[in-house]
Amino acid sequence: MNGEKDSTTTYDSKATRRPKYAIYTLIVIVILIFILILFLYLIRSPLIFRSGAYSVSQPVSLPAASSSLSLDNSYIFASPLRAKTGGESIRITVYILDSRGIGIAGKTVSIGGGSLLTVTPIQPTTDSQGRSTFDVYSGSSPGVYLIQASTGGVTLTQKATISFD
């Protein structure tokens, strides 16, 4: 009899523990849902995260755009930096910018990297962002090449290093 009494006591203690864990789990889930709702409310609330946008009732005059080339701000970008000879190309993007970092439209850009490379102009004249693009590939001459860009007789100070394997 002692054995039966002990087994029911053990069983009863396990049975009473299960509802407590279920209640605690339910309480934790409710708290987490409450925290999530509060977090979403605070993100969407205009009082917490205010936008810096505002309206102006009078027209604002902006300074005139400077179209003078800045060699310090203009740059050349190559992607990828390495390709295989015989057909893989590397996209060269040149940005012609003014002293404020604003693109200059309508500039004709040329690039060079040696006589062993073939340059295909995609967009040799800069767009409204000051961007022009070229594709460069090497038919059968592996090596490392230095790509330069120039516009209006001025060569950019930054150069891009690419390689063909």
Above 80 in pLDDT, residue 100? Answer: yes
Q: Say which range, 48-57, 64-73, 91-100, 118-127, has the weakest mean pLDDT.
A: 48-57
Q: What residues contact residue 69 under an 8 Å CB cut-off, 6+ apart?
A: 96, 97, 98, 104, 107, 151, 152, 154
Above 80 in pLDDT, residue 66? Answer: no
pLDDT for position 9: 52
Q: Are 127 and 44 in contact (CB under 8 A)?
A: no
pLDDT for position 62: 46
Q: Secondary structure of 95-114 in the HEC alphabet?
A: ECECCCCCECCCCEEEEECC
Q: How far apart are CA 44 and CA 64, in angstroms?
A: 38
Going by pLDDT thresholds of 50, 70 and 90, the confidence category of residue 58 is low
pLDDT for position 11: 55
**In this predicted model, what pLDDT tens digit does every residue of 8-38 receive, in sequence order?**
555 555 555 667 788 889 999 999 999 998 8
Structure tokens at 151: 């516009």
Peptide bond just before 80 cis, omega within 30 deg: yes
Q: Say which range, 12-26, 31-45, 70-84, 107-121, has the weakest mean pLDDT.
A: 12-26
Above 60 in pLDDT, residue 1? Answer: no
Show the CA angle centred on residue 144, arms to residues 141 and 149, nearest 5°.
105
